């Protein structure tokens, strides 16, 4: 393998992973906030979403291939779908579990709806959202590995599959190790986010240890 | 800074939760600038009464008037202090105080004066050097001080205090009572304090109202000079008489006549 080629595959895989994460994560976050905030939206959307959630998203691979073919869209869709649910469920939980006492306080102090959302509900939901982000990152790599073994011509998954054809065990092992490092890197990033967002939470150190 | 206190007038006020009647036909007038304490056993409806004043609960019957005009729920000149401080844990002490500034029109003064005002209030409650601390790093008493500063940020004309010192230890509570009294004297707002501590009521109030099963069963003017000394006989006798009244409500107004003449 030429030098620099490995780096190119890592870049492609990372780009796929994070694009999928961004798409699935934002949609999941938006649905979580809307359904947590408005009862009507929750009645409309939660049941269908929970039904889809109970289908393992990798079981949809045959369908995804029919819909999107073997191109980039299929991989992005799978990653986004996988990431959507942990972020949706945790955001919903976070918005709902904001201390009602604080919401009442906001009423007494005449905060506007927008302020209530920005200053009370959103920051109150962040710890739970970040738990969702960490779960989501795990799902992200897992989904990508599977997606890249399906008719890809680049990425780490493709490298591993290709190496298997030529019995290059060393390359396969290298790919697995690479995945481990990328996963660890994502986790470190998530922890960093927690430290940044939850500086106010004095019990943060003990709270962030057991999210997996 | 000394806007006159708001006059509160409750007429035939009633509140029911389902079949449970929490407040019955309650009449109460709190004069502007007066400090009224409402005492009673837990479950007598005193917190519900205060929440109704605040506009957090709608009365089932009767009406509440502020300075003569009927209350439409939350009033811009009314603020409430809760038993738990209810500070936003993700905002620093000073930023929590700033939350309190809000007029009726929703207009805020510019950021600089707001911050200066908040800092001034924090210093006033003795926390000038803790402005940038997270609420999680403050003690219970300090958190209530921040909550007090937040409550005063908009210069309210009526301050409702729902057992704000109930969760504090005895020494801190004494300190806080002095602070509440000082702020009330300086700023001349109307204050309604709900408490189960008779001593606290006698230490702070111009008038103590006894509430029993949603009805007012006693109302006592306290004319003792301020600051009140807990060791004085008049103070101790007043507490004893009030306690007797609350513990044995059957005595009703009869017991009230037993209050010491000096009070």
In chain B, ranges of CATH 3.40.50.300 domains: 1-77+157-263
B134 and A104 in contact by Cβ < 8 A? Answer: no
DSSP B262: T
The ipTM (two decimal places) reads 0.86
What pLDDT sits at residue B262?
Answer: 43
Among B74, B90, B154, the residue with its CB nearest the CB of A107 is B74
Q: Does B80 touch chain A (CB under 8 A)?
A: yes
Among B74, B102, B136, the residue with its CB nearest the CB of A201 is B136
Q: B157 pairs with which residues across the strands?
A: none
What pLDDT sits at residue B109?
Answer: 65
**Residue A159, Cα to own-chain centre: how many angstroms?**
24
Q: Does B84 touch chain A (CB under 8 A)?
A: yes
Nearest Cα of chain A lies from the Cα of B102 at a distance, in angstroms, of 7
Quickly state the pLDDT bin for B184 (edges 50, 70, 90): very high
DSSP B250: G
pLDDT per residue over B234-255, tens digit each? 899 999 988 888 876 555 554 4
B82 and A110 in contact by Cβ < 8 A? Answer: no
Closest residue in chain B to residue A104, using alpha carbons only: B56
Q: Does B68 touch chain A (CB under 8 A)?
A: no
DSSP B52: H
3-state secondary structure chain A: CCCCHHHHHHHHHHHHHHHHHHHHHHHHHHHHHHHHHCHHHHHHHHHHHHHHHCCCHHHHHHHHHHHHCCCHHHHHHHHHHHHHHHHHHHHHHHHHCCCHHHHHHHHHCCCCHHHHHHHHHHHHHHHHHHHHHHHHHHHHHHHHHHHHCCCCCCCHHHHHHHHHHCCCHHHHHHHHHHHHHHHHHHHHHHHHHHHHHCCCCCCHHHHHHHCC
pLDDT per residue over B117-170, tens digit each? 999 999 999 999 999 999 999 999 999 999 999 999 999 999 999 999 988 898
pLDDT per residue over A136-168, tens digit each? 999 999 899 888 887 778 888 888 888 888 999
What pLDDT sits at residue A132?
Answer: 95
Q: Does A201 touch chain B (CB under 8 A)?
A: yes
A123 and B99 in contact by Cβ < 8 A? Answer: no
Quickly state the pLDDT bin for B14 (edges 50, 70, 90): very high
B90 and A109 in contact by Cβ < 8 A? Answer: no
Which CATH number is associated with domain A5-210?
A: 1.10.3720.10
| B105 has pLDDT over 50 | no
Helices A72-96, A122-148: axis angle to 10 degrees equals 150
With 0-12 CB in 10 A as exposed, 13-18 as middle and 19+ as buried, what is A129? buried
B25, B62 contact by CB (below 8 A): yes
Test the B interface: residue of A97, A100, A103, A109 with most B CBs within 10 Å:
A109
Quickly state the pLDDT bin for B104 (edges 50, 70, 90): very low
B12, B24 contact by CB (below 8 A): no
A110 and B89 in contact by Cβ < 8 A? Answer: no
Test the B interface: residue of A94, A105, A120, A123 with most B CBs within 10 Å:
A105
What pLDDT sits at residue A153?
Answer: 83
Beta strand B190-195 pairing with B35-39: parallel
User: How is domain B1-77+157-263 classified at the architecture level of CATH?
Assistant: 3-Layer(aba) Sandwich (3.40)
B86 and A105 in contact by Cβ < 8 A? Answer: yes
This prediction's pTM: 0.83
Q: What is the distance between the alpha carbons of residues B154 and B76, in angstroms, rounded to a whole number? A: 9
B82 and A107 in contact by Cβ < 8 A? Answer: no
Q: Tell me which residues of chain A have a pLDDT lower than 50.
A: 205-212
Which residues in chain A have Cβ-Cβ distances shorter than 8 Å to B47? none
């Amino acid at each position: 393998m030429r030098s620099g080629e490995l780096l190119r595959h890592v870049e492609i895989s990372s780009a796929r992973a994070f694009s999928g994460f961004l798409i699935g994560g934002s949609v999941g976050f938006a649905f979580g906030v809307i359904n947590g905030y408005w009862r009507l939206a929750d009645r409309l959307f939660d049941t269908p979403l929970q039904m889809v959630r109970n289908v393992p998203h990798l079981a949809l691979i045959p369908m995804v291939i029919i819909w999107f073919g073997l191109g980039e869209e299929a991989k992005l869709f799978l990653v986004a779908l996988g990431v959507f649910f942990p972020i949706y469920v945790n955001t919903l939980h976070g918005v709902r579990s904001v201390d009602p006492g604080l919401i009442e306080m906001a009423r007494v102090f005449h905060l506007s709806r927008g302020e209530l959302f920005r200053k009370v509900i959103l920051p109150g939901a962040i710890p739970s959202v970040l738990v969702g982000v960490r779960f989501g990152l795990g799902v992200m790599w897992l989904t990508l590995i599977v997606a890249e073994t399906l008719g890809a011509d680049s990425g780490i998954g493709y490298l591993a599959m290709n190496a298997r054809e030529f019995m290059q065990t060393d390359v396969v092992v290298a790919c697995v190790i690479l995945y481990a490092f990328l996963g660890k890197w994502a986790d470190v990033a998530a922890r960093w986010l927690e430290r940044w967002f939850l500086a106010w939470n004095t019990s943060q150190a003990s709270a962030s240890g057991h999210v997996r | 800074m000394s806007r006159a206190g708001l006059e509160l007038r409750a007429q035939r006020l009633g509140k029911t939760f389902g079949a449970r009647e929490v407040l019955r036909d309650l009449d109460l007038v709190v004069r502007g600038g007066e400090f009224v304490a409402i005492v009673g056993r837990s479950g007598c409806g005193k917190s519900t009464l205060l929440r109704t004043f605040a506009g957090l609960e709608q009365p089932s019957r009767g009406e509440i008037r502020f300075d003569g005009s009927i209350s439409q729920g939350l009033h811009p000149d009314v603020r409430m202090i809760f038993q738990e401080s209810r500070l936003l844990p993700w905002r620093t002490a000073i930023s929590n105080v700033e939350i309190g500034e809000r007029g009726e029109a929703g207009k805020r003064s510019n950021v600089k004066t707001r911050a200066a005002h908040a800092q001034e209030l924090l210093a006033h409650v003795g926390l000038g050097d803790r402005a940038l601390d997270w609420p999680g790093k403050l003690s219970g008493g300090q958190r209530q001080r921040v909550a007090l500063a937040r409550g005063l940020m908009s210069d309210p004309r009526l301050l409702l205090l729902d057992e704000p010192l109930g969760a504090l230890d005895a020494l801190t509570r004494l300190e806080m009572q002095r602070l509440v009294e000082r702020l009330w004297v300086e700023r001349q707002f109307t204050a309604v304090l709900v408490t189960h501590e008779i001593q606290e009521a006698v230490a702070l109030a111009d008038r103590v109202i006894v509430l029993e099963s949603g009805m007012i069963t006693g109302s006592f003017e306290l004319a003792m000079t301020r600051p009140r000394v807990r060791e004085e006989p008049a103070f101790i006798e007043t507490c004893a008489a009030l306690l007797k009244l609350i513990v044995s409500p059957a005595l009703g107004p009869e017991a009230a006549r037993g209050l010491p003449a000096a009070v």
